Amino acid sequence: MTFISTHIKMTCLCLIVLMFTSHRFPAMAGEVKAIRVIRVLGTGDIYNEDTSSAKDKAISNALVSALGAVLIEDIPNKIVIANFQAVNTMIHASTDSFIQGYKVLAEARMGKKYKVMIEATVSTAKIRSSLVQSGIVLDPANKYKILLLISENNLEDLAPQFWWGKGKSYVKTISDSTISQVMRNKGFEVIKHRLIHKELMKTQMDENNLSDVLSRDLALAIGRSFEADIIITGSATAEQALNTMGEDRAYTGSLSLAIYKTDSGERIGSVIQKAVKVNTDEATGSREALSEAAGLAGNDLAATINMAMKVEENKPTMIEVEIEGTDFFINYTKLSQKISTLPGVKRVKQREKQKASAIIIIDFIGNGKSLAKALMAETFENFGLNISEVSRNHLRLEMVPLSSNIFVR
């Protein structure tokens, strides 16, 4: 017997979740446990006096409700709402893998209904892992800043369209808009480049010479000027396919994209997607094909970035940290002791020390951004931290008196 019924009603799931989430075993506020034990009710309809099948269905409904209750409790509402269909598909398709066990606490026939109360053991860790693999960002601290550098050539266009370069900031393409929305829904921060196009001038590049095809180095330079963590480069194209049927024509939308980290310049993945749409109107057909292909590409991009950055965060890195501040000796001693106890810190070595500054080297499982986040979560009695520079293997921070008006954490 499988845990899931193909005829589960979403109305039943929502009703049971709302009514019985109060029967959870309580957890500490803000805590996400790897395992949750939860009590819920389930109902199954009785047909032809077959109470055994009705009980099985009631248990299946209750198990899906248990997953729904845990999801509502542990996953930010904004993420669940924006990805509602994908999240529900995942729950129904993988119920067995998320439920580690259950027991029936009570059961009863009530007319044509069979009702059960179960206590289910749910693997929150597996749910979160599946969501991350699907491209959803669960931890706001890991909301990487993405810059899209995708040129587009639709059938309506005389030449490729792109937003970078002089006089191009007004350009809005189908692929850019679609991918941006998909990735924002999944929790990524996609830079609104058209609103801050003047930042491009920081690179001191000649905008007149920027074309739709960017070299890796030039794309990275643009990304760094926008302070992006990741850039996505490539092209999107719409074409009319050979297939026809009367007045109907087939249109193909294709995207070929590469993903780079701006701090190291490393290519961390690529995505190729294609979609075909049939329409009698060329403009509508080509737009629909591009939009669908871009939506598929957005999902692939989110998943690829999530998994690549997860690997990055688990890599050991030697991070140079420049430290300065007032009351230096006392505060520096406290800070060094605290750093040595942070999760992921394997070794702290002092490279240089002066009267009011020092440089230390930290062997850390993760990158500079991860270390900066860990430091920002710490508090000190007499000072705070102003972290002014962050890269993969470098931090610059200042120990600022708590009374200072410029204190920033």
**How confident is the model over 373-395, as a mean pLDDT?**
87
What's CA 359's distance to the chain center, in Å?
33
The amino acid that residue 308 corresponds to is A
Strands 383-391 and 394-401: antiparallel
| pLDDT-derived band at 273, boundaries 50, 70, 90 | very high
pLDDT digit string, tens, across residues 170-187:
788 999 999 999 999 888
Per mean pLDDT, which range of 147-156, 351-360, 398-407 is the poorest? 398-407
Q: What is the domain class of 140-312 according to CATH?
A: alpha beta
User: Residue 331 above 50 pLDDT?
Assistant: yes
Q: What is the mean pLDDT of the chain?
A: 83
- Region of poorest pLDDT, from 28-42, 76-90, 239-253, 320-334: 28-42
CB contact at 8 A, 163 and 171: yes
Say which range, 240-244, 351-355, 361-365, 402-406, has the weakest mean pLDDT: 402-406
The predicted model scores a pTM of 0.67
Lookup: tokens for 274: 């294609």
The CATH code of domain 10-133 reads: 3.30.1660.40
The residues spanned by each domain of the chain are 10-133, 140-312, 316-401
On the question of pLDDT at 409 being above 50, the answer is no
Nearest to 136 by CA among 183, 92, 179: 183
Residue with tokens 């520079």: 389
pLDDT at 32: 57
First vs last C-alpha separation in the chain? 53
Helices 10-20 and 51-74 sit at what angle, rounded to 10 degrees? 60
**Coil, strand or helix at 73:** helix
pLDDT reported for residue 205: 56
CB atoms within 10 A of CB 348: 17
Q: Is 396 helix (H, G, I), strand (E, B) or coil?
A: strand
Long-range contacts of 354-359 (CB under 8 A, 24+ apart): 355/328, 356/324, 356/325, 356/326, 356/328, 357/322, 357/323, 357/324, 357/328, 358/322, 358/323, 358/324, 358/328, 358/332, 359/320, 359/321, 359/322, 359/323
Residues 239, 235: Cα–Cα separation, whole Å: 13
Query: Alpha-carbon Rg of the chain, whole angstroms?
Result: 27
**Given pLDDT bands bounded at 50, 70 and 90, which one contains residue 194?**
low
Range in 208-212, 275-279, 298-302, 333-337 the model is least confident about: 208-212
